[in-house]
A and B are shown apart, each in its own frame.
Chain A
């Protein structure tokens, strides 16, 4: 399986990739994007099985990325990993077609809980 990790922070991309490993998802290919626009291009060229995206990013935000993907017909499983976990953000994520929203700071257990149905199902 291939997982696309979109976050403008290299530190956070590293932490997400490390947490994936700690949660038991070590064997997957990981593709990294620095913003939503780059992620949109990479979904087209790399055809990932899952997108894990930050919300606040320059160029294109995570929610705009999700909108762009869904309006172009892509049904790639999509989840947010963001520092904002308010009810409002969760509702917007869900309405946009996201499967889950993991709020930073997170644990490997939180990753496994939402990823198991997508990657092991």
Chain B
């Protein structure tokens, strides 16, 4: 049986803010909202499959992705390879957190990272969207599930 459950906004917010403060420090707190139009420079996604199916993605402007990379690696230069790694690890941790909120057992995929927006399958719908601002720039974390209408 496929269950069309969705994580609550509060839970997703908790997961995202915990990941952020653990790995990027509290000097620039993650501020929630408002919804913004985002010039997506980098994005990443992981899928959860099993008792619950879903896709968790993070979308970031280029400057934000580079700043995250600088802070995670504590370096100044941000070659694309490192940005992809940092942005992938970010969604991996957020996805792992969301997975643990949902009914299991299920498996977490390796992250997919794109310069630009990650293409989503056409049969998924957004069930949760978390808009935030970090270090002065907007970002979006969203959860998609498969559309269950037949």
Contact = CB atoms under 8 A, between A and B. Distances in A.
Q: Do A and B come from one complex?
A: yes
Contacts of B72: 11, 14-15
B86 A84 contact: no
Contacts of A107: 22
B-side interface mostly: helix
A104 B110 contact: no
A84 B89 contact: no
B108 A58 contact: no
Interface of A: prevailing SS: loop
B89 A105 contact: no
Interface of B: 18-19, 22-23, 69, 72-74, 82, 85-86, 88-89, 92-93, 95-97, 99-100, 104-105, 108-110
Interface in A14-70: 14-15, 18, 56-58
Contacts of B97: 83
Contact of A106 (B22, B88, B99): B22
B22 A82 contact: no
Interface string A98-112: 000001111100000
